[in-house]
């Protein structure tokens, strides 16, 4: 039995393009983001993927990315579950701020710590650790059992909510996961064994 899990970060959003901290804000995809999502769908179609269930966050950029992928796969009616647990890390007071302006205001190092340390949250927001503490229980309860039962599953979500998932799946240390940048609209394909251990990983961005 195949146990397939595909993770995909949303395509470029309006706020990715404007270089703004996004978090739980809900900007739409850019034209480039739409094209990235379509290309992801085409790549999965070329690899002959057909899914049994889809999960996404409650943010439009991830939902729309998933919708565009499913269109390419001719699977627009696929059962899809949306949950806030898969949302991007909440950037708190940084939300909406330009990333370069934040560096000017708070210093390069402080901004890097907020963006890429494991357990230092930005003011009023979530660290990657806090993000993992909501993503992982949801994944273990709602998603993983379906994957292990043979349901081919796609999860369309966000840079940091997917980092939390990848850290768990691949058994990475905080240092290792923080160096991992996920391309917009680039699927990562996992095949798992019956215990949820990785049999193979294929990153279509690579």
* Residue 173 labeled ligand binder: no
* Residue 9 labeled ligand binder: yes
- Rounded distance, CA 126 to CA 115, Å? 10
23 binds ligand 2PG (CB under 6 A): yes
- Pick the closer one to ligand 2PG by CB: 73 or 111: 111
107 in Cβ contact with 42 (< 8 Å): no
10 binds ligand 2PG (CB under 6 A): no
Distance of closest approach, residue 152 Cβ to ligand 2PG, in angstroms:
27
88 catalytically annotated: yes
131 binds ligand 2PG (CB under 6 A): no
174 binds ligand 2PG (CB under 6 A): no
10 catalytically annotated: yes
- The structure tokens listed for 79 are 């059962």
- Rounded distance, CA 158 to CA 16, Å? 12
Q: Which of 43, 72, 79, 88 is catalytic?
A: 88
Segments in 54-186 forming alpha helices (H)? 60-72, 99-106, 108-116, 128-138, 144-148, 159-170, 174-178
28 in Cβ contact with 61 (< 8 Å): yes
* Residue 61 labeled ligand binder: yes
* Positions in the binding site for ligand 2PG (CB under 6 A): 16, 21-23, 88, 91, 115, 159-160
């Amino acid at each position: 039995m195949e146990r397939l899990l595909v993770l995909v970060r949303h395509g470029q959003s309006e706020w990715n393009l404007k270089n703004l901290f996004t978090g739980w804000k809900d900007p739409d995809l850019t034209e480039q983001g739409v094209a990235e999502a379509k290309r992801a769908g085409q790549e999965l179609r070329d690899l002959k993927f057909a899914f049994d269930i889809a999960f996404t966050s409650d943010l439009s950029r991830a939902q729309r990315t998933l919708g565009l992928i499913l269109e390419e796969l001719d699977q627009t009616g696929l059962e899809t579950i949306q949950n806030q647990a898969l949302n991007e890390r909440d950037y708190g007071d940084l939300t909406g701020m330009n990333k370069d302006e934040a560096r000017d205001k708070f210093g390069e190092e402080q901004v890097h710590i907020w963006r890429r340390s494991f357990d230092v949250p930005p003011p009023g927001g979530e660290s990657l650790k806090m993000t993992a503490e909501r993503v992982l229980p949801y994944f273990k309860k709602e998603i993983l059992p379906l994957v292990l039962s043979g349901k081919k599953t796609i999860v369309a979500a966000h840079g940091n909510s997917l980092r939390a998932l990848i850290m768990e799946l691949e058994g990475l240390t905080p240092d290792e996961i923080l160096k991992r940048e996920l391309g917009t609209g680039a699927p990562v394909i996992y095949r798992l064994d019956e215990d949820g251990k990785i049999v193979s990983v294929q990153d279509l961005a690579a």
